[in-house]
Chain A
Amino acid sequence: MNFSVSKTSAIILMTSALALGACQKKAPEELPPVQQTTSTPAPTPAPTPTGPTVGSQAHFEQAVGSSSVIYFDTDRFNIDSTDAAALQAQAQYFARFPQLTFTIEGHCDERGTREYNLALGERRANAAKNYLVSLGVSPDRIRTVSYGKERPVALASNPQAWAQNRRAASIIIN
């Protein structure tokens, strides 16, 4: 059921992605209002001679900002509207640099058992991959890997840290 929701919004997003040729970040009207994210993505890279080069993680993150990572609710793996906007920014970047391949890492918080979390991380990485594919990114360019709860980024044991760890992170391979 999550996939059918994703597919619907994917079509909407693809349409709006085409409409928004200038990479402006703007949530589609059809979607419910999303929570304001603290950092605003900078979709247009500033091509300075000394800046990060295409093919590096730094270049990707400079281009999409915080949109290189999407976050999930507890035990969930569906793509919500915030995730959809972030993946749209990623899709635009990968459309601009079609030579790039990348890995989507699926992660979980520590409040699940080790083996189950490995499987849940697979779901999350694949949900992000499927969404990007629906936005036109070739599946051949996307590798997925689950790290379960083995690689947290936030180290405390509280709801804020767990929310940061329930994520799918896109990492440039080359």
Chain B
Amino acid sequence: MKTPLFLTAALLFAAPLAAQSTDLGEPMGDGGEVETAFEQDAGEEDASGLTGSTTDTSDWTDLGIAIPAFATDRDRETAANADGTAALGREVARVITANLRNNGLFKPTGPDSLPSPSFAQITSPSWGSWSGRGAEMLVHGYVRGRDDGRLVVGCYLYDVALQDELIREGWVVRPADWRRAAHKCSDLIYARLTGEDPFFDSRIAYIAETGPKDARVKRLAVMDSDGANHRFLTLGSATALTPRYSPDYSKILYLSYVDGNPRIYVYDIGTGRQTLVTENRNPTLAPRWSPDGRFILFSMAVAGNTDIYRVPVTGGQSVRLTDTPGIDIGGSYSPDGRQIVFESDRSGTQQCYVMDADGSNQRRITFFGGRCATPEWSPRGDQIAFTRIAGDFNIAVMTPAGRNLRVLTNGWQDEAPTWAPNGRIIQFFRTTRNAGRSSLWQVDLTGRNERRLPTPVDASDPAWGPIRP
């Protein structure tokens, strides 16, 4: 305890503001590219199967989908699986099955209770063996190991009753990225059957928490949308909070106490280095990206009063967007980048406000009696999710005008919503009363499909990134 206090004192009273990086772990490096190997021609697409797009999940949650093991043209060694490409094909099918099942979508049956098709049957299913299984949809696919070590993964969706192909696509991936092919296949199936945009091939940044309530260790961590490929990015000697992935996944904004004060850092994922968001002695909080990734919103407390600022990612002059004696904090851009929803207690309690991106035209949008905190604009633009404080904390949604408020969760303390890339699912963190244990949860817009996300340790502050480039 003595040493960090002494260090921060030295920083405060001598020469502050060197961007300390003493809490950073090993860099994870840039991810690999996923190349599309083939896709269905637009004119080739058949409009059969489910028609139109549905907004109520009840229409398609009962749809049975059979997902047998992906075949391989010849079983060969691959860095993606110790048992070769045939075993990898079974793993790919398992990942797709888990994706569809865990998100309350459809009734998938996985490869462990289904016969395995041959490589030749992938493009020509043996209909007779699939029609009696109660599955309306059939997924086939293959994994082919190339001589250069890369993998080609093909994904096909068939309508069993019509005995017809609905869609197909294939990708070339590095062995390390094999799960991305499984997520892309999941996205292909999901988007084709629901008419919604994809969301599986995405990542989540969050805060991993360990230790007792009065001495919590809070570390920056990242994982795939299904919890795989988990990494801790900080070591835990300094408290880390409120991460946000950049739209291109190259950087993460987050708050760290690494120099003893709460400050926002821009962490570069490729190099594992970080810089302060602004060279300034004041505490900076609540970082956010603009949708195009060119600007950063941050909140800064000057002499105790917090306001919202905007700064170009490349550095330069910060522009102050709010100017009230109240706490103005956070902020979330509309998908077109023209408006910002934010939180302010200028009326006496936390409420949500909308302003134009230049700070003009600020107006309050919430008048429901409780408090509105941590508003997040949906990537579709049609909804704003927020923490509704009315005794307990719940996750709720409303229109950008503040109307049609719907409460989606009923935990004791559900906080900090973040949207799936397609705006259909919301993640948040739930804290238990007394014990203070935290965990990540997600809920769909109906509020009916709620589940806990598996994380290695307790978790808070989820931030769901967009579909990966």
A residues in contact (CB < 8 Å) with B: 75, 77, 101, 103, 110, 112-116, 118-120, 122-123, 125-127, 130, 140, 143-146, 150-153, 155-157, 171, 173-174
Q: Which residues of B contact A113 (CB under 8 A)?
A: 350, 373-374, 387, 389, 393, 415-416
A119 touches B329 (CB 8 A): yes
Main secondary structure of the interface of A (DSSP, over half): mixed
- The CA of A73 and the CA of B17, in the complex, are separated in Å by 34
- Chain B stretch 285-327: residues in CB contact (< 8 A) with chain A: 285-286, 299, 301, 303-306, 327
B389: chain A residues within 8 A (beta carbon): 112-113
Chain B positions within 8 Å of A145 at CB level: 8, 260-262, 283
A125–B306 alpha-carbon span in the complex (Å): 13
For this complex, 23 residue pairs linking A to B, each with C-beta atoms less than 8 Å apart, are A77-B304, A110-B436, A112-B389, A113-B350, A113-B374, A113-B387, A113-B389, A113-B415, A114-B461, A115-B373, A116-B343, A116-B350, A123-B305, A123-B327, A125-B304, A126-B303, A143-B13, A144-B304, A150-B218, A152-B213, A156-B434, A171-B5, A173-B9
Contacts of A103 in B (CB 8 A): 5, 8-9
Choice from A75, A110, A174 contacting B6 with Cβ under 8 Å: A174
A103 to B11 Cα, complex, angstroms: 13
**Nearest A residue to B431, CB-CB:** A110
Identify which of A110, A122, A151 contacts B283 (C-beta below 8 A).
Answer: A122
Q: Known A-B contacts: A116-B329, A155-B436. Give 18 more (CB < 8 A).
A: A103-B9, A110-B413, A113-B350, A113-B387, A114-B461, A116-B345, A118-B241, A119-B306, A122-B283, A123-B304, A127-B304, A143-B9, A143-B13, A150-B216, A155-B214, A156-B434, A171-B5, A173-B8
Using Cβ atoms and an 8 Å threshold, which residues of chain B touch A151?
214
B22 at interface (Cβ–Cβ under 8 A)? no
Interface residues of B (CB under 8 A from A): 5-6, 8-9, 12-13, 212-214, 216, 218, 239, 241-242, 255, 260-262, 283, 285-286, 299, 301, 303-306, 327, 329-330, 343, 345, 349-350, 373-374, 387, 389, 393, 413, 415-416, 431, 433-434, 436, 460-461
Give, as a whole number of angstroms, the nearest-CB distance from B387 to chain A.
5
Q: How far is the CA of A163 from the CA of B373 in the complex (A)?
A: 22
Q: By the criterion CB–CB under 8 Å, are A126 and B304 in contact?
A: yes
Q: Report yes or no: B299 in contact with A150, Cβ–Cβ below 8 A.
A: no
In the complex, what distance in Å separates the CA atom of A82 from the CA atom of B302?
Answer: 26
Q: Please name all residues of chain A whose beta carbon is closer than 8 Å to the beta carbon of B261 when the two chains form the complex.
A: 145
The docked-state distance in angstroms from the alpha carbon of A118 to that of B214 is 16
**In the bound complex, CA of A144 to CA of B260 (Å):** 10
A150 touches B239 (CB 8 A): yes
Q: Which residue of B lies closest to A151 (CB)?
A: B214
Give complex CA distance A101, B10 in Å: 11
Would A122 and B239 be within 8 Å (CB), given that A113-B416, A114-B415, A152-B214 are in contact? no
Is B330 within 8 A of A115, CB to CB? yes
In the complex, are the beta carbons of A115 and B285 less than 8 A apart? yes
Q: Are A119 and B218 CB-contacts (below 8 A) given A113-B415, A174-B9? A: no
What is the CA–CA distance of A125 and B6 in the complex, to the nearest angstrom?
Answer: 19
Closest partner residue, chain A, to B213 (CB atom): A155
User: For A75, what are the chain B residues with a Cβ–Cβ distance below 8 Å?
Assistant: 345, 349
In the docked arrangement, what's the CA distance between A155 and B329, Å? 27
- Assuming the A-B contacts A110-B413, A171-B5, are A116 and B214 also in contact, with contact meaning beta carbons closer than 8 angstroms in the complex? no
Instruction: Determine whether the beta carbon of B6 is less than 8 Å from that of A173.
Output: yes
In the complex the two chains form, what is the Cα distance from A120 to B262 in whole Å? 13
Q: Is the CB of A119 within 8 A of B285?
A: yes
A116 to B345, CA, bound (A): 9
Counting chain A CB atoms within 10 Å of each CB, the highest count among B218, B306, B413 belongs to B306
Across-interface contacts of B6 in A (CB, < 8 A): 173-174
Q: Which residues of A contact B433 (CB under 8 A)?
A: 157
Contacting pair A120 B214 (CB below 8 A): no
Among all A-B residue pairs, the 3 with the closest Cβ atoms: A126-B304, A119-B306, A122-B301
Shortest distance between the CB of A52 and any CB in chain B (Å): 13
Cβ–Cβ < 8 Å partners of A122 in chain B: 283, 301, 304, 306
| Bound-complex Cα distance A75 to B13 (A) | 31
- Could you tell me the distance between the alpha carbons of A141 and B433 in the complex, rounded to whole angstroms? 38
Smallest beta-carbon distance A10→chain B, Å? 16
Contact residues in A for B299 (Cβ distance below 8 Å):
115, 119
A150 to B239, CA, bound (A): 9
Distance of A4 Cα from B285 Cα, bound (Å): 27
Which B-chain residue is minimally distant from A172 (CB atoms)?
Answer: B5
Complex Cα distance A75/B389, Å? 13
| Closest CB in chain A relative to B108 CB, distance in Å | 36
In the complex, chain B residues whose CB is within 8 Å of the CB of A153: 214
In the assembled complex, how far is the CB of residue B358 from the closest CB belonging to chain A, in whole angstroms? 22
Contact (A146, B329) CB under 8 Å given A113-B374, A114-B461, A115-B286: no
B218 near A157: Cβ-Cβ < 8 Å: no
Residue of B nearest to A122 (CB): B301
A123 to B431, CA, bound (A): 25
Residues of A within 8 A of B239 (CB): 150
State whether B434 touches A115 (Cβ < 8 A).
no
- B212 contact set on A, CB distance < 8 A: 155
Taking the closest CB of chain A, its distance from the CB of B400, in whole angstroms, is: 20
Shortest CB-to-CB span from B323 to chain A, Å, is: 15
Residue of A nearest to B327 (CB): A119
Give the distance in Å from the alpha carbon of A112 to the alpha carbon of B372 in the complex: 11
| Distance (whole angstroms) from the CB of B371 to the closest CB of chain A | 9
**CB-based contact B434/A157 at 8 Å:** yes
Closest to B386 in A: A113
Closest beta carbon of chain A to B179's beta carbon, Å: 31
| Chain B residues positioned under 8 Å from A150 (CB to CB) | 216, 218, 239, 241
Choose among B12, B241, B374, B413 the residue with the greatest number of A CB atoms under 10 Å from its CB: B12
The answer to whether B283 and A143 touch across the interface, beta carbons within 8 angstroms, is no
Residues of A within 8 A of B241 (CB): 114, 118, 150
